[in-house]
Amino acid sequence: KAGVTQTPRYLIKTRGQQVTLSCSPISGHRSVSWYQQTPGQGLQFLFEYFSETQRNKGNFPGRFSGRQFSNSRSEMNVSTLELGDSALYLCASSSTSQQGIYGYTFGSGTRLTVV
């Protein structure tokens, strides 16, 4: 089955602009999580959406936001971009069983460069 699809793959934006990234989860997965990956900080959790509701949130400023649609597709938005927002943004989808989460699968990411 198709994996997690993220678009676009690459983006270059100017400081102060805003950006929207898109993620389509694996069919049947209702949970979508977003992560930021940088060389200095590694992989850090941004937020998680389930059934169109944000369930968990990491320690990022309010400039970072997201949403999820009824088909489980998710978008994340970063407003007023800063140079430090340059990173690989990863989306992961997962499902849940009685044992807990499973199938935690990442997309290839969107490489955002802020200039």
| Contacts to other proteins by CB under 8 A | 4, 6, 31, 33, 35, 38, 40-45, 48, 50, 55-56, 58, 90, 92, 94, 96, 99-102, 104-109
Which is nearer to other proteins, 39 or 62 (by Cβ)? Answer: 39
Q: Are 45 and 35 in contact (CB under 8 A)?
A: yes
Q: From the CB of 63, what's the least distance to other proteins, in Å? A: 19
Given the complex with other proteins, which of 13 and 30 has the nearer CB atom? 30
49 contacts 74 by C-beta, under 8 angstroms: yes
Nearer to other proteins, 12 or 15 (CB): 12
Contacts of 75 (CB under 8 A, 6+ apart): 20, 21, 22, 23, 66, 67, 69
- Provide, rounded to whole angstroms, the least separation between the CB of residue 112 and other proteins: 14
Shortest distance, position 109 Cβ to other proteins, whole Å: 5
Tokens in use for 81?
A: 């971009």
Nearest-approach distance from CB 35 to other proteins, in angstroms: 8
Question: Which candidate, 10, 15, 37, places its Cα nearest to that of 112?
Answer: 10
Q: Is the distance from CB of 103 to CB of 1 less than 8 angstroms?
A: no
